Structure 1
């Protein structure tokens, strides 16, 4: 735990006033921002110098005109040991808007640096889903200390959310929803919305519930505003709705929103009671997060976050490098088996990397397509073999094209018979690569494992080893060289 930053109760809750020049569309190529609206290196350097001199007044004057998103950028651009002193110097600017904009790793550092009562005040200004995201990665002891400072109602909502697994609708949903009984008419509803002081900050539709608090329909705000007051909600509400169980994975939630063109959707518990809602702004964040996560998992780069602690980055990457080392031994064993043949015809050693490289690229292409198709529900049990057949045809076309090019070049540079051997080996390897690129992710998905996590390791092993085996085996079988 890092040292706690001094905290001022009176100023943290007040939003720092934004100057006219602090609007995002006005902050282009000024003394703080370049023409791409990024903080200038010389500006960051001036903040660093003021921090090193311990001149908090100068630091405050430099940072005060910034927008909340820019303050977050500044914190992320500074070194880890510089962030706590900056937060101490600009206490009243460390509002929930700034915290919400921070990178996950930086936000975790800042939450540990601030005292529990400061974090509690920030938490109370956030919607439940944002508050949960703020504290879910903190140590259990820090969570307890922060929640002890939060009002009982907010604390109960946050603790309820933390009880659900990560990346599920129950963890991510906003519990502050607008729900009304079905006996209301439009006029009653409008009067309620105008008089109720504790409404959700943002909502796009009103949920209509029965006496058991089960959602029976929804009313879009546009319908409410354009319908006569005396019309019953049951006559104007939309009865067909997409209900999201609390244990639904966030990827499935995103797919529901995409498939059914949703703006918001009700989240229900095991008994069918309305317990929260998911909105499109949450889903945009999920889609962005999942897309980046899958790309990084395919490369074995872990979180891929430049703010990730070195130890965590090392741990997440090195295990896949070790796995790659193990799979590379398989290819090396095949090469060693044909060692005598390679010694007699050096051209084999020259051409082997080409076969492995092309096969590996072909496998990676197919694997990327398959992983994305699985993630978007385009590749399912119902159409697996159709997709395999499609990729097989694509592999045949690719293999034939590459085989002609490499065969002619090899025949001219070395010998016609060697050109034929490498051409046939290339077709075989690209076909195997295409099959592996589809089947490996499918197998992982059938085993309830994330196909993006380890597919690349196994696809690379298959394409390399089968490429070597096909090329060297054909060279020996054709009589081009003996072992």
Structure 2
């Protein structure tokens, strides 16, 4: 584009965001056109007002082949805050273009938890190179975090916190906070520890600011607190934050010593990530990220499609057992998909409710059988309703009351079976220490298809419907 055309493009650009706070296509196109024309300064002028999260979004919506040029043009804007907000796959591709010292500079500007999120995705040799380029203190903190299991509190926590002894007064604390420039500037709570550095209480900033200077911390601190073990799974951490309404929480090691803290802004990311992860696992779609490389998506999905093919063959083999019955009454072939399809939907409903209940700790060993009985009652009500409707419709359409009774009975039976499968399959996987979200839908669908065909065709053959 010529400069006049670019100027016209910029003048025609709509606001950078639409009504739903997303970058508009016109704005993205204007930035990319500037980059393509070699007008890096013009591109930076357009991007300058954006929040770091919006700059990260800009890279995510840009075509993959144009991201390197965009990164070169906006290099001075690609700070740590932008990388912290960026999609994992996009960030990993951009970091591959940087040398170890550049990655170390970015990681050094971040809180420990965000730095770990960047470094843990690198190849092992790249990790070592970046760690060597870090300051010794940052390197030690990140290496310690990387020693904890993935998706654990140790990976999630940040080391930057305020911890003091209980023998201080409020005045001593305020003087300490004001005079020590090395302390972190972002915190909501102050942790009170004993001589062994074990947390014994917390102080909210609002209490500190409203309390006279002469009062002892031991007299105003809250002694009851929720402590997070360093090896606790991040999903369980999120549940504790939700259950107890936490803003921040202390993380302790096996000896009970304070080693870090987790804040609610980190938990919001975890809640979103875990919720999306469970939905994707139910469908066998892998990470389900539109920025994921095609081959990675292929490998994640194809194995479950192969399993699905095998389960479909089970249902097909059941149909083959009743081939003669179907040949004598073609209407059965027309109605079979209805029984299997409605049963499958009923099973998926129950499965979704059960997996969510397991994920949020609503369904435990204490109430699991009560949950099973509840789903049976729901299935009976649903089955009876659908059975009456389909039975009457089939009787009227085909002028065959016996066929209506057969399909109504089969529908009721299959919806009840679907309800049982929808709750028992994830419970069984959970009992076997497997993730109940992984491929449960495949086995539930196999059950409802197979049993739907078997019950419907078996009743048709046994009832004398087919002469």
Same fold (TM > 0.5): yes
Name which of structure 1's ranges 65-74 and 270-279 shifts more when overlaid on structure 2.
65-74
> In the TM superposition, what whole-angstrom CA distance separates every residue of 1:266-307 from its partner, at most 9, and x where no partner exists?
100011110001111111111111111111111111111110
1:42 aligns to 2:26 (yes or no) = yes
Whether the 8 Å contact between 2:14 and 2:27 is mirrored in structure 1 is: no
CA distance in 1, matches of 2:105, 2:19: 36
How far off its partner does 1:325 sit?
A: 0.5
Tell me what 1:10 maps to: none
Tell me what 1:460 maps to: 445
CA distance in 2, matches of 1:33, 1:229: 48
Q: Counterpart of 1:452 in 2: which secondary structure? A: coil
**Residue 62 and residue 187 in structure 1: after superposition, are their counterparts in 2 closer, same or farther (change >3 A)?**
closer
Coordinate RMSD, CA, aligned: 1.5
How far off its partner does 1:181 sit?
A: 1.2
Q: Counterpart of 2:96 in 1: which secondary structure? A: helix
CA distance in 1, matches of 2:21, 2:240: 35
Where in structure 2 are the equivalents of 1:9-408 lying within 5 Å? 30-408=14-392
CA distance in 2, matches of 1:262, 1:341: 63
How far off its partner does 1:65 sit?
A: 4.0
CA distance in 1, matches of 2:111, 2:162: 14
Calculate the TM-score normalised by the size of structure 2.
Answer: 0.94
Tell me what 2:425 maps to: 440
1:431 aligns to 2:416 (yes or no) = yes
CA distance in 2, matches of 1:237, 1:33: 45
CA distance in 2, matches of 1:140, 1:268: 28
Whether the 8 Å contact between 1:168 and 1:246 is mirrored in structure 2 is: yes
Name which of structure 1's ranges 55-64 and 189-198 shifts more when overlaid on structure 2.
55-64
How far off its partner does 1:404 sit?
A: 0.1
**Residue 287 and residue 33 in structure 1: after superposition, are their counterparts in 2 closer, same or farther (change >3 A)?**
closer
Whether the 8 Å contact between 1:441 and 1:452 is mirrored in structure 2 is: yes
CA distance in 2, matches of 1:375, 1:153: 37
**Residue 432 and residue 110 in structure 1: after superposition, are their counterparts in 2 closer, same or farther (change >3 A)?**
same
How far off its partner does 1:31 sit?
A: 5.0
How far off its partner does 1:250 sit?
A: 0.6
How far off its partner does 1:37 sit?
A: 4.0
Q: Counterpart of 1:453 in 2: which secondary structure? A: coil
CA distance in 2, matches of 1:133, 1:41: 29
How far off its partner does 1:49 sit?
A: 3.4
**Residue 399 and residue 215 in structure 1: after superposition, are their counterparts in 2 closer, same or farther (change >3 A)?**
same
